[in-house]
């Protein structure tokens, strides 16, 4: 009965370096979401996965951001050539979503990864 | 298109008093509405949701919310606030016929004073 886990919990990096953020969703949850939360701001949607495919990548702020999901489970968000404006808390959430018909299930969030770019 | 608004950045209330955190929404079809709470340095936790049925929805920690279709609102309420309720509260909406991606409000900081 583990919840959504994310690693690392904190990441400090230098400008220009690449970083990888990991998300382990709840077992059986087919939908996975990445969000970004800057200080004092709401949630900024980044990308959504249904299984291993990402039908909506519209929120990725630039081509420096990419994400993948393997085995319908773990997801990795990669930020290349990090910039100071990438500093934020990156949240992952999972949900039980049906492909057909309606789905109204809530999301379960991980604790987040706090990224600081110096 | 779907959108949600939380008109108050911050709500202050004395412990023991009732609290209300406001949320209004806009969707093309029928709304699925959610409230989440975020404690410091934590992820968001689900509180309650409205899908269909009774307009008054009860959730975790004594919270409830009332769906008002005519006013397109889904305000979060609690009869008696606790200091431990102090946190950031997010309202979210999905359009029943829309994408699987909910839209979140900017959040309302609730401060309960002893």
Convert the pLDDT of each residue in B41-96 to its tens digit: 888 999 999 998 889 999 999 999 999 999 999 999 999 999 999 999 999 999 88
Interchain pair A106, B106: CB under 8 A: no
Local structure of residue A76 (DSSP, 8 states): E
Asked whether A60 and A66 are in contact (CB, 8 A), the reply is yes
Q: Which residues of A touch B (CB under 8 A)?
A: 4, 31, 33, 41-43, 45, 48, 50, 56, 91, 93, 95, 97, 102-104, 106-112
Cα–Cα distance for residue pair B37/B45, rounded to 1 Å = 5
When pLDDT is cut at 50, 70 and 90, the band that residue A102 belongs to is low
pLDDT value at position A98? 63
When pLDDT is cut at 50, 70 and 90, the band that residue A96 belongs to is confident
For chain A, say whether B32 makes contact (Cβ under 8 Å): yes
pLDDT value at position A99? 56
Local structure of residue B68 (DSSP, 8 states): E
Interchain pair A45, B101: CB under 8 A: yes
Asked whether B15 and B82 are in contact (CB, 8 A), the reply is yes
Query: Using only C-alpha atoms, what is the Rg of chain A?
Result: 14
């Amino acid at each position: 009965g583990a919840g959504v886990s994310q690693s690392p919990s904190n990441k400090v990096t230098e400008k220009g370096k690449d970083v990888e953020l990991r998300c382990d969703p709840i077992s059986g949850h087919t939908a996975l979401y990445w969000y970004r939360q800057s200080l004092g701001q709401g949630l900024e949607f980044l990308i959504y996965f249904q299984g291993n495919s990402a039908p909506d990548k519209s929120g990725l702020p630039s081509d420096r951001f990419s994400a993948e999901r393997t085995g319908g489970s773990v997801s990795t968000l990669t930020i290349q050539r990090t910039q100071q404006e990438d500093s934020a808390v990156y949240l992952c959430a999972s949900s039980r979503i049906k492909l057909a018909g309606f789905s109204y299930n809530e999301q379960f969030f991980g604790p987040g990864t706090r990224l600081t770019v110096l | 298109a779907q959108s949600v608004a939380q008109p108050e950045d911050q709500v202050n209330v004395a412990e023991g008093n009732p609290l209300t955190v406001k949320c209004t929404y806009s969707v093309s079809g029928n709304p699925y509405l959610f409230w989440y709470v975020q404690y410091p340095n934590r992820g968001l936790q689900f509180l309650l949701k409205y899908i269909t049925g009774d307009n008054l929805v009860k959730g975790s920690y004594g919270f409830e919310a009332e769906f008002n279709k005519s006013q397109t609102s889904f305000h979060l309420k609690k009869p008696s606030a606790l200091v431990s309720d102090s946190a950031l509260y997010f309202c979210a909406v999905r359009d029943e016929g829309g994408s699987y991606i909910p839209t979140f409000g900017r959040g309302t900081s609730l401060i309960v004073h002893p």
